[in-house]
Amino acid sequence: MGDGLSEKICLSKKRNTVKELYKVLDMGINRQLSEFQRGFTIVTAIINLASLIGFLGTVSGMIDAFRTISNTNQVLLTLVAEGIYEALIGTGVEFIIAIVMNFFYSMFVQKIEKFSQATIEAGENLIERIVEHENLG
């Protein structure tokens, strides 16, 4: 470290104790993680809603199939199959959306965990260097 930089991060000028430095590090990381997690609410809502909409599509298609059966005097396989087909298409599409969103959600969570761990390690290393510098100086 250069002389100007070491004066700026001097433990006695910025923080009174190492414990305070760890508190600052912890608060900063928690604040950043909270920012990241705000986006999780939207993603989890999309995942949950896609699944629910898929189930709603299945139910509405089945209702339509049974309504068609009840409105006719004879059961035609094509009439029943059409309602079931529509129900399953909607459900499949919604499940695909939920699966894709869940995949990206998992990837994002993993990246945040890695970032968090790297940030903690970097902060702890920085604190150790500051303390070493203080003890040498």
Q: With 50 as the cut, is the pLDDT of residue 5 above it?
A: no
Q: With 50 as the cut, is the pLDDT of residue 7 above it?
A: no
pLDDT of residue 9: 42
**Which tokens in the block code for residue 67?**
């309504």
pLDDT of residue 92: 85
pLDDT of residue 85: 84
Q: With 70 as the cut, is the pLDDT of residue 15 above it?
A: no
**Which tokens in the block code for residue 39?**
């986006």
SS3 label, residue 2: coil
Phi, psi dihedral angles at 74 (to 5 degrees): -130, 145
**Residue environment code for 93-110, b if the CB has 16+ CB neighbours within 10 A, otherwise e:** ebeebbeebbeebeeeee
